[in-house]
Each structure stands twice: as C-alpha cells, then as structure tokens.
Chains A and B, each alone.
Chain A
Amino acid sequence: MELTRRSFVKRMSFAALAAGVGGPVLAACAGPDKGAAAGGAVLKAPASGTGTMNMRIWGAYPEFVKERAREFTDSYGTKVDLGVVAGDYPSIIQTQLRQNQKLDLFYGLGHLPKGWNTAGWLHDYERFWNKDKAEAEMLPVVRDALTIDGKLIGLPYFAFVNGALFANKQVLATAGLDSWPTTYDELYAQVRKVKKSGASDTPYLPSFWSAPYYGIPFGFVQEAMNRGMPMFGAGGKPEFDENSGGVVDMLGQWRDLYSENLVPKGVLTFQESDWIETFAAGGIAYSPQLQYDLRTFNDPAKSKSAGQFVAVPQQGQKWGMMHMGIYLTGNNGQSDEDLAQAYSMAEYFGYRDRKSGEFVVPTKWAAENNLTQGYAEVNNSPTVEKAVRAWLPDADEQWPILKDYMADPQYAKGLYHTDWALEWVSEASRQLPQAVNGDADIKKVVRTLREKAEKLIEEYGE
C-alpha cells in the first residue's frame, strides 16, 4: 500500500491517540502504592488455583524445583512461571523489588529480608492461614530468624550449618592424627601437624572466598561467634573493635594460615564451585563447608575421595552457624486473592502439602539432596534418616553428629536483622581478604568494619 503524506499523518494521529491512552494504562499496570495489600485479616486458603504465579530462584537444582512446580500445578491448578536468576542474585532481586516488579515467590537468604521489609517491598506471612502451626513446628533458631519486627517474614526453604567442619579421614590417617580438634586453636595446630607430616601441602580450606555470596564475611562472623567474641548487639551495634584483641588476634591467625601456605593458593578469588571442587578433589584435611555438601563430597561421581569425608563433632565449641534460605513474597500491591495464591505456593514448597498434610517438598529436599529443613520433623524423619544413612560414611557415628549441628547453632541475628546487613557484608568481603593477604593492617581492617557498621546505623537508624 502506497504511503502518502495524508495517510501517514492520519496513522500518526492514531498512534499518538493510542500512546495517550496507553500511557495511563501502562501506569495503571504498575499497580497501586506499596502497602495496599499489607495488614488485614488472616486469609483463607484458596479453594482452587487460578492463573499463573511466578517463582524466582537461584541456580541450585533447577530441574528439581521445576518438577515440584509441575506437581504443584497438577495438584492445585495454579501454573508456575519458574525463572532462574543467574549472577548476583541478591542485587538482581533487590533491583526488581525496587522497581515494583511482580515477584510472587522467590528465594532469599537470612541477611536479606530485613531491609527489604523496611522498604515495604515484601509481604509478611502474618495473614497466612497456617502461620501459627508452621511457626510452632519450626526449629527455634529458624523461627527466630524468620521473625522480623515481630512478624513472620516467610517460610523456610532450607536450614543448615554454614561452616560445618568437615574432615578427610584419609589425609588425617596419613598424618597419623586420631583425635578431633575441639577448638579453632586446636584445629589450626592440627593443620600445621598435617602439613609437617607431608600428608597434605595445603591441609586447610577456609571460607576465605569472597564472591559473590559473601563467603569470607560469613566465615569471619561465625568463627568469631563460635570463639565467644561479641560481634553485633541489638540494632546491629558493633561490639568488636581493634583494641581488645578478639577478632584482631583471630585475623592474625588467618594471615598466618595464608602466609604459611597452609591454605590453597587462590582461595581469595575462589567462587563457591571452586571451594567445593577443591575439597572434593581430596588432599585437604579440614574445611568448614555448607552442611548439605557432605553428600556431594561423598558422591563418587563428584568426588575423588568419596566415603572419606565426615563431619567433625562439636565438643564444647560449635563449628559454623545457621544459614537459611527463605521463601519470600514481594509486595507489588497484589489483591488478597493473588496473595492467597502466593501463600498457597509457599505453603506447598516451604511447609506442608495442604491436601495430604505431609511435608512433601521439604522431605524430598532433605532426602534427595541432603538439604536439611527448618522443621525438626522433616530432618529427623525415618525417610530422611534412611536416605542419608545410605551414603553417609560411618553412619552410626555421623548421623548423631549431623543432628547435633542442627540442634542449637549460632545465628548472627544482631547483624542479619538490620536494614544494612547486605551492605556491611559487601564491604567485609572486600576488607577481610586484605587482612588475610597482608595488603592492609589487620587493626585498620577491623576499625574500618566497625566504623562501617556505625556509619550505617547512623544512616539507617538502629
């Protein structure tokens, strides 16, 4: 069709009209102001599923999640638009929340939701119909972690100890060691003995990796807490400083481990996968790891020393601290009906299947992937115990040790329940490696971290 000036101008007029109408329509699509759906009475569980709910996850076991999502759709009728977020997950999700994007259900970590909740980006779970029952069944540390400003912020996706101390029995046997360390000082003394014996050139693999899920700040906080050092008080007030020994001495020990080549070269630029692969490759005596990876280390398909990796018992002093994933729901001004559908999906993934009354998804996570859950009933269930014992070396001895790790772990609530935890751990992930490799004075690093916390408190309030 020939384009004449007249026809062109006419079409442009229509386009302009459409744009004029479309603008407000698009604006309306952005949803009402935040908080429109916040508060209110407890919702009723939806009788049937409708429409599509979206779910955003990081790249762990996407096929497993996809299968569970399909089962949820088959059972409840709600379709699930599942998206895997690659890269810097916290920053990407934070940006999407800030932009008021629709996020019905998504993963979070313990240090993330406080600030997001303050900003009004999240829906709490106070209106969830089974809130009281779910809370009553949670491990106390999980319930405490998920209760922000007195409200349940989400449902547990996983709960395990980050920094559970694992040992490679083969290396220890070669080094002639037959007793477990009970403190960090004993651990580091044993590490030196292993190196001296020639059983391993780099006998220790610490949580010194810094990207992108904050390995070294988590390692720093958990070791200090397990050593009984005060870290963060109420409102995130820093209780450590550069003058009272404590963390300064601890970082001094870390620097010694690094400078004496007791740890693998390049550990400061490791990513999580390197951390796991290096330990699984064998040749390292001890490493604080994610508790659920014990299965990976004992999987012959992924590990060169499968059957040799065990958890070191806690004898007085604890190893690691509680680390948890959370199912969260974004607040984009959705209706009560949509919120109830989001709760329904969260309930299926992070609590009990409403139809059978069983912990369906949590039990599958724990049994199939050793991803322990925020509920004792799941972690101690015969199904899970049987599944874990099937691959766990020295199962009779190790099963109680693993249960003990989950019994009463440390949790960095003082830090994680601040609006600025994400920013502080980002800063710590830059500062701490400099203390380790000698780029910066240890006291200066500790002072910087304390001052950073103080500055953030000043900016955000306690």
Chain B
Amino acid sequence: MTSTATVAPPHTPSTTPRARFSSRISTNRFGLLLVAPVVLLTVVIVIYPVAYSLWISLTSSNPITGRSRFVGLENYATALGSGEFWRTLTLTLFYVVCVTVMGTVVALGSALLLREKFLGRRVLMALIVLPWALSTYAAAVVFRYVYSPQFGFSAAVSERLGLDPSNILAQGSVIPALALVHAWQFAPLGAYFLLATLQMIPEDLYKLAKVDGVRLMGRFRYVTLPYIRLPMAIFLVLIGGQAATAFDLIYFLTSGGPGGSSRTLSFFIYEETFQNQRLGSGAAMSWILLVVVVALTVGYYKVALRVGNRDMKEET
C-alpha cells in the first residue's frame, strides 16, 4: 500500500480576503478620520457657539415672558444708536489706552532694568513675576485696600504727608486707577517677552554706538528699539485685546461704578446678558466689541510694521 503524502507548499499565499476597511479607506481619508475628533470638538466648542451667538444677535428674546422673534439687524442698530453704548465704548477705548501705555512703560522699564547685571537681579526677576501669578480677584482685593480712602495704603500715605486722603475710585480717576491695577498685573508678561529679546542684542552694537557718540536715548532709539519692535507689537496686541475685554477686575473693584464711570463695554454686555437677560442685545454688542478688538489689533500691527519699514528705508 502506498500512501501519497500531500505536501503543502512552504509559503501558501493567504486566501483571507483583504480587510474591507483598508480596501475602502485611502491614506488621505484615514488621515482625515484621525483629525475628525479635533474638527468635531472645534465645531462643538468654537464654531457652533460662535454661530449661535451670531444667530442670537439677530433675535429678540425675553426668557421671562417667553417671547422670541427674529429682528434682523435691529439689535445692532439699537446698540449703535444708543448713547449709552457709545459712552461705554469710549470708556473702553480710554481704558485700553491707559492699560496699554501703563503696561508697556512698566514692562519695558522692568525689562531694561533686568537686563543689567546687579546684585539681587535674580531675586528681582522672581519678584516681578508675582503680580502675574496672582488671581484677578486677589489683585482686586489688594487694591481695594490700597485705594480705600478710609483705611487704605493711599490714605495712610496721605496722612503721613499731611494731606487729605483722596478718593482714587471717584468718577474722574476710576479708569486710570483700574488701568493701573490691570497694567501692574499684566506687565510682567511683557517684561519677560522683551527681556528675552533684549538679551539677544549684541553688546558690540552698543559699544559701536558709544564710539560714534550716540547718547543714551539715541542708543535706545537706533539699537534697542529695532530689536524689540516685534515682541513689543505682540505684547501690545495681547494687552490691548485683554484690556478691551476686561471684566473681572472691574466687577470685583468697582462693579462699573461709581454711577457707570467704569462701565466698559464688556461690563455693559454682562449686564445686558446676565442681569437683564437680553441675550440678543448682549450678543450684538459682543460682535461689535469683536470688530473693535480686531480693528485695534490690525491697527497695532500696521503701526508697528509701518515704523519698521520706515526704519529699514532709513538704514538703506
């Protein structure tokens, strides 16, 4: 009896059909699938709320009465035709200018100081960042006591000097007073931004400028400034945008008072939306604020670039 042994080929090709998925999904599609969750999240977290707020701004609704209707651009027209809106917008712009100027001066001054080598520089570097590390609420509480004409730091200083304690949060001075706190808190960020750039400027440039007889201000103008223009522009955009949308500091320190003297557009939007439940009006004003912030940002960049181009022309 003979037997026939069947010998299987050593490498039989697999007869298993290829996976359905892989045959249908190309590498590009697979890539798209990978980013799909992020896209989905972006749609849910960013695009949908933004689109929804745009829709709300075109409606007039009152949750108490339950009435809701489409009003088109009426909320925008009402806001733009309201004296209160322009008053709060003007206050906002004033606040932005104050915060930006104060913040930039403090940030630049701190950065220039920290670039120098002196005893205790490292300690000072750590101290300067402290305001930035504070929560806005804590900063507001601190400055309530600093500004208080009854038992505040400023009152104590005034008394020592034999002066009458003044009300720093009075209607005429409340915006600069608030801006000072805001700048105090935000300036450390700018200081570190600028310091990083300042440390990259070759020391030889300053030496050459000195040899050429360029004075201190001239060295700042022709050596330092060209280097820090870009980080400065970024800082200005950041601090300007932050100031334009500031809310928490104002809420904790003055609640928009006295009598609306520190009622910026952000605060007005908060009141309309959350206290008065006028979602349409609040959303419309938010969009107008967005336009203002974008305009400010573009304006900052244009000015920075224009000055930069002018300097380049002068150099050539």
The answer to whether B169 touches A91 (Cβ under 8 A) is no
Question: Complex Cα distance A87/B174, Å?
Answer: 21
Smallest CB separation, A20 vs chain B (Å): 13
- Tell which of B46-54, B111-119, B229-237, B271-279 binds the partner: B271-279
Of A8, A420, A430, the contact of B260 (CB 8 Å cutoff): A430
Smallest CB separation, B193 vs chain A (Å): 32
Number of interface residues of B (CB under 8 A): 42
- Tell which of A160-168, A326-334, A370-378, A433-441 binds the partner: A433-441
Smallest CB separation, B150 vs chain A (Å): 5
Which residues from 86 to 142 on chain A have a C-beta closer than 8 Å to any C-beta of chain B?
87-88, 90-92, 94-95, 98, 115-116, 118-120
The answer to whether B259 touches A6 (Cβ under 8 A) is no
Of B63, B167, B277, the contact of A266 (CB 8 Å cutoff): B167
The answer to whether B33 touches A88 (Cβ under 8 A) is no
Q: Digit string of B126-138 for contact with A (CB within 8 Å is 1, else 0)? A: 0000000000000
Question: Complex Cα distance A66/B92, Å?
Answer: 42
The answer to whether B148 touches A266 (Cβ under 8 A) is yes
Q: Is A210 an interface residue (CB 8 A)?
A: yes
The answer to whether B259 touches A437 (Cβ under 8 A) is yes
With a cutoff of 8 Å between Cβ atoms, the chain A residues found around residue B33 in the complex are 8-9, 12
The answer to whether A439 touches B259 (Cβ under 8 A) is yes
The answer to whether B274 touches A91 (Cβ under 8 A) is yes
Given contacts A9-B33, A210-B258, contact A98 B166 (CB under 8 A): no
The answer to whether A210 touches B64 (Cβ under 8 A) is no
Q: Is B55 an interface residue (CB 8 A)?
A: no
Q: Is A426 an interface residue (CB 8 A)?
A: yes
Smallest CB separation, B151 vs chain A (Å): 7
Q: Is B66 an interface residue (CB 8 A)?
A: yes
The answer to whether A266 touches B150 (Cβ under 8 A) is yes
Given contacts A5-B21, A281-B151, A426-B276, contact A269 B65 (CB under 8 A): no
Given contacts A5-B30, A426-B275, A460-B64, contact A210 B255 (CB under 8 A): yes
Q: Is A395 an interface residue (CB 8 A)?
A: no
Question: Complex Cα distance A282/B167, Å?
Answer: 19
Given contacts A88-B275, A460-B64, contact A264 B257 (CB under 8 A): no
The answer to whether B259 touches A432 (Cβ under 8 A) is yes
With a cutoff of 8 Å between Cβ atoms, the chain B residues found around residue A115 in the complex are 64
Question: Complex Cα distance A461/B25, Å?
Answer: 61
Smallest CB separation, B175 vs chain A (Å): 13
Given contacts A9-B25, A266-B150, contact A433 B274 (CB under 8 A): no
- The residue in chain B whose Cβ has the minimal distance to the Cβ of A427 is B276
Given contacts A211-B254, A274-B148, contact A119 B21 (CB under 8 A): no
- The residue in chain A whose Cβ has the minimal distance to the Cβ of B254 is A269
Q: Is B12 an interface residue (CB 8 A)?
A: no
DSSP majority for the B interface? loop
Given contacts A5-B30, A9-B33, A211-B254, contact A266 B149 (CB under 8 A): yes
Question: Complex Cα distance A116/B169, Å?
Answer: 35
Question: Complex Cα distance A440/B64, Å?
Answer: 31
Of A271, A422, A433, the contact of B259 (CB 8 Å cutoff): A433
With a cutoff of 8 Å between Cβ atoms, the chain A residues found around residue B123 in the complex are none
Q: Is B165 an interface residue (CB 8 A)?
A: yes
Question: Complex Cα distance A10/B255, Å?
Answer: 54
With a cutoff of 8 Å between Cβ atoms, the chain A residues found around residue B144 in the complex are 271, 274
Question: Complex Cα distance A426/B260, Å?
Answer: 11
The answer to whether B274 touches A269 (Cβ under 8 A) is no
Q: Digit string of B251-265 for contact with A (CB within 8 Å is 1, else 0)? A: 101111111110100
- The residue in chain B whose Cβ has the minimal distance to the Cβ of A430 is B260
Question: Complex Cα distance A269/B62, Å?
Answer: 30
With a cutoff of 8 Å between Cβ atoms, the chain B residues found around residue A91 in the complex are 274-275
The answer to whether A460 touches B274 (Cβ under 8 A) is no
With a cutoff of 8 Å between Cβ atoms, the chain A residues found around residue B147 in the complex are 266
- The residue in chain A whose Cβ has the minimal distance to the Cβ of B164 is A265
Interfacial residues, chain B to chain A (CB-CB below 8 A) = 19, 21-22, 25, 30, 33-34, 36, 62-66, 144, 147-151, 165-167, 169-171, 174, 251, 253-261, 263, 271, 274-277
Closest 3 CB pairs of A and B: A211-B255, A433-B259, A268-B258
16 chain-A/chain-B pairs, Cβ below 8 angstroms: A90-B275, A115-B64, A118-B65, A264-B150, A266-B150, A268-B170, A268-B257, A269-B255, A423-B275, A430-B259, A433-B259, A436-B259, A439-B171, A459-B65, A460-B62, A461-B65
Given A269-B253, A431-B259, A433-B259, 4 other A-B residues pairs in contact with their CB atoms under 8 A:
A266-B147, A433-B260, A440-B259, A459-B65
